[in-house]
Structure 1
Amino acid sequence: MAHYTSKYAIQSSPALFRQNKLKGFTLVELLIVIAIIGILASIVLATTGTARAKSRDARRLADFKSVQAALELYYSSNSSTYPPANTWAALGTALNAGYIKGLPSDPGSYAYTYQSTNGAATPVACGVVKCEGYLIRGQTEYANYMTQDVIGVGAVPSANCTVAGGPPYDYCLKR
């Protein structure tokens, strides 16, 4: 019986099997790499979530400052009185007459509130009395990111930052 060899014949030597075995990754190695990628992705997503919340809170602060500037323009043009409005929409109607291009809205799912006051340390809604003050309230996402801001008053209006039956506002701008 003759031994037939061909250049296409598969050789079965132990060295060839060892060489082919070293060319790929094992299932355990692939699972470890996938787990590491998953952990890194979750860290990145958690970090960007906090950054986005801080960004929206910074936008809220900028919105309040722009409304404050429009209110001061209104005050100087209208015999030293602020708009006698008790809702954000009513404030928008008063300020859209040349004081601000458009009243900003919350960048998230919260809402801003406005209340005209008599300007006292413990504000009372103005009606018959002159509107010499206001209270703008908003809610933030990131705890302790913003604090209350009092302009021209010595006390912080922490009691006035919360409205009975409403959401807990943690940022107040008072004049």
Structure 2
Amino acid sequence: MQLPERKDQGFTLVELLIVVAIIGILAAIAIPQFSKYRANAYNSAAQSDLRNLVTSLESEFASNGTYPESSGNATNTVSDYEVSEGVRAYFQTVNSGDGYEICTSHKNGNKAYYLNSTISRMQESNDITHCVDSDPDPTNFNQ
């Protein structure tokens, strides 16, 4: 009686190890890039909220001739705008209500953004502590 011919099917241990190594290399490249993209997205949310707060403040100024009184947290003072989840915003009126300073950052981002009514462009800093529960110091931001 003749035994049927055996056909080996499957992968060898070496082939499986090669596949695992390739997946590991791809993951080592992709994970840091993913983290960078997430930080950029959080920073973009803070930038967007800063621009939207400026629009809201200018609308308030056009309607009332003065900016709203500052109480520190921008969401408490600008009634028609609420910042995105995770974004911290600091707002302060200056020059007896004729100007303002705003600073925003995201709790998971890595930059802070600053703008006041006398400069026309946003400034950024790599230190997000410039915007947290204190008066933003414009000297700490990139010109």
Which category of TM-score, normalised to the shorter sequence, fits these structures? 0.5 to 0.7
Gap runs ≥5 in structure 2: none
- Deviation sequence 1:69-111 (CA, Å, 0-9, x none): 11001112222x21111321xx434432xxx3x3113x44x52
Structure 1: gaps of 5 or more residues: 1-5, 119-129
Give distance in 2, aligned partners of 1:25 and 1:164.
56
Q: Contact 1:116/1:131 (CA < 8 Å) preserved in 2?
A: yes
2:3 to 5, 10, 34: 10
Q: Could you report, residue by residue, the CA deviation over 1:18-62 in whole angstroms, capped at 9, with x for unpaired residues?
A: xx46x4422122112112112212322221221121112112111
The structure that is strand-richer by fraction is 2
Structure with max Cα Rg: 1
Distance 1:55 1:163 in 2: 18
Calculate the TM-score normalised by the size of structure 1: 0.58
Counterparts of residues 1-175 of structure 1 (less than 5 Å): 6=1, 9-10=2-3, 20=7, 23-79=9-65, 81-88=66-73, 91-96=74-79, 100=80, 102-105=81-84, 107-108=85-86, 111-118=88-95, 130-139=96-105, 141-142=109-110, 148-149=114-115, 151-153=117-119, 162=130
Q: Which amino acid aligns with 2:44?
A: A
Sequence identity of aligned pairs in percent? 28
CA shift digits 1:144-163 (9 cap, x unpaired)? xx765455349x7x8xx937
The whole-number CA distance in structure 2 between the counterparts of 1:116 and 1:150 is 9
Cα distance change of structure 1 residues 37 and 116 upon mapping to structure 2, 3 Å threshold: same
Higher share of residues assigned helix: 2
State the TM-score, normalizing by the size of structure 2.
0.68
Moved over 4 A (4+): 146-151, 163-166, 168-172
Two-structure CA RMSD over aligned residues (Å): 3.6
Q: Give the residue type in structure 2 aligned to 1:138.
A: T
Amino acid across the alignment from 2:16: L
| Alignment CA distance shift 1:150-1:117 (3 Å) | closer
